[in-house]
Amino acid sequence: MTDPVRLNPLDTAWIFTETRATPNHVGGLLQFRLPEGARKDFMRRLMAGFRSHRKFKPPWNRRLKYPFTKNPLPVWVEDEDIDLEYHVRHAALPWPGGERELGELVGRLQSQPLDLSRPPWECTVIEGLEGNRFALFVKMHHSLIDGVSGMKMLQRAMSTDRARSLRMPPFWASGAPAARPKRAAPTPTLAGAAAAAIDALQSQARSLPQLAAAFGKILRRIGDRGEGLVVPFDSPLSMLNGRVREKRRFATQQFPMERLRALATAAHGTINDVVLAVCSGALRRFLLERERLPAQPLTAGIPVSVRPKEDDGHGNAISFIVATLATDVADPAERLRAIRDSVSHAKAHVQALPRAAMMQYTVILMAPTIVTLLTGIGGRTRPMFNITISNVPGPDKPLYFRGAELTAIYPASIVTHGQALNITCQSYAGSMNFGFTGCHSTVPSLQKLAVYAEDALAELEQAFLPRARGARKRRK
C-alpha cells in the first residue's frame, strides 16, 4: 500500500462545499460506434469483461479519509475492498435512443451525488442508441481529478489501433503510469523538519510581491473602466446566478474543428475566443427570448491549466481568468473582438505570475466564492462571474476500445449556487464537442442553448467568412 496523499486546499474545497443540491463531480459522456459485424451479444460480453477486472490502479482505488489530527486537510488512501458492481452499472434507452433521450439519462445520472465513503467514481454502460452506437458515462469527484489529467487517463485506456484495443483492460485497470522511483527519504529529524519549513516559507515569501501586484492591479481596475482587465464580482445578476436544486439537465453540440479554426484565423484570434463567442451568442439569444438579458455584459470564468505537459498527477492544477462575454453587443463580429481583447488582457495578467504563486492566487481568488457556499449565501449575492466555460484539449486521432470507435466525448460539469449553468468543451479527432450542464429548474429548455450555438457559429461565419458560409449553404 502506498502512503496517504494529502489533498491541497483547492481539492479540499470541492469536498467541503458539496451538498445534496450541489454535488461536485465531473463527468464524461463517451459515445462509441459498434465494430462492423459486431455480434448481437457484444454489450453483454463487454459487461462480462468489465466485471472480470477487479484490480484497480490509482486514482480509481482511492477513497477519502478524514483527519483526526490538527491538520484539517483530508487524505487519499487506497481502498483494498472495492465493490465493482456498485461502481459499474448497466442502462439501456428505449431503442432507437437519440441525443435528447441520451441527454435526459445523463442529466439524471449527473444529478446523483457520489458516495464519498467509497472511491468517488461511477461508470454507466448505456446501450440502445440509434446509429449502431453505445455510450459510457463516467463521473468522478472533482477533488480527485481535473479535466486535463482526466483526459490523459482516458487516452491511456484506449488505443489508436483497433486491433490492439481488443486487448485493452477497463480504464480502472490501466490508471496512471507508475510513479518514477524516488530516492529514499532521510530519517526525519527536528533539524530537517525546521529546514523544510523555512524553505517553504521562503518560497511563499518570494511569491508575495507578484501576488500583491496582481491583486493591486485588480483593485485599481475597480476605479478604471478603461482597462481591458475584467474584475471578479463586477458581473451583473442574471437568471443563471441564483440558487439551484438537485436535478440537472444535459445537452450536447458538436462542430468540426476546421470551421472553428478558419473563423479564428479570419478574426485574428484563437479557437478558444471563437468558443467563447459561440457560447456568448447562444446565451444572448436564450436570455433575450425570456426578456432576462442584463444590460451589463455577462462574464465568464475560464479555467486555465497550469499542469506541466510531463505531469501525469491527479487532483487539480488550474487557475482562473475572468473575461467578458460582451452579451450587450448586438453585432457578432464586434462581440468576438471584444471577447478576444478581454481574454488577451486576462491571460497576460495571470501569466505574469510565477508558477509558485499560481496556487495561492487561485485559492485567494476563489476564497470569496467558497465562503458564500460554506455560509449558505451562495446564489444570493453578486457572482464572481456569471458562467464557467472550459475548453479541454483532447486527442487529435480516433481512439478505439474493444474494437469500437470512440466518436465523441461530451463533458458534464459542476453546477452550484450562483452558477446554474456550465459549458465545457472537449476537442477530439477533428471535432469540438460541447457539453451543457444546467440546473433543471433554473435553466429551462437547456436543449435550445445547443441549437442556438449552431446559429451563433453561423452568424460569426457570415460576419467573417461570408463566402465560406455561402458555399456551405449550397452544399446542403
The burial of 83, by beta-carbon neighbours within 10 Å (0-12 exposed, 13-18 middle, 19 or more buried), is given as exposed
Q: Which residue spans within 18-146 are E strands per DSSP?
A: 25-33, 62-65, 75-78, 88-97, 121-129, 133-141
Is 284:125 a contact under the CB 8 Å cutoff? no
- The number of C-alpha atoms within 13 Å of 249 and in the hemisphere containing its C-beta is 20
Longest CA span, the chain: 77
User: What is the C-alpha separation between 413 and 214, in angstroms, rounded?
Assistant: 29
Is 270:337 a contact under the CB 8 Å cutoff? no
Q: Which residue has the cell 468543451?
A: 425
Q: Which residue has the cell 484497480?
A: 56
Q: How far does Cα 334 stand from its chain's mean position?
A: 28
Q: Which residue has the cell 457560447?
A: 279
Helix (H/G/I), strand (E/B), else coil: 437: strand
Instruction: Tell me phi and psi for residue 38, to 5 degrees.
Output: -60, 145
User: What is the C-alpha separation between 353 and 360, in angstroms, rounded?
Assistant: 10
Is 123:91 a contact under the CB 8 Å cutoff? no
- The number of C-alpha atoms within 13 Å of 426 and in the hemisphere containing its C-beta is 25
Is 23:15 a contact under the CB 8 Å cutoff? no
User: What is the C-alpha separation between 323 and 393, in angstroms, rounded?
Assistant: 20
Beta-carbon contacts of 153 under 8 Å, excluding residues fewer than 6 positions away, are 145, 171, 174, 175, 176
Element (H, E) at 324: strand 318-324
Active-site annotation, residues: 142
Q: CB count, 10 Å around CB of 115?
A: 12
User: What is the C-alpha separation between 38 and 28, in angstroms, rounded?
Assistant: 24
Q: How far does Cα 288 stand from its chain's mean position?
A: 27
Helix (H/G/I), strand (E/B), else coil: 469: helix
The grid cell for 182 is 524516488
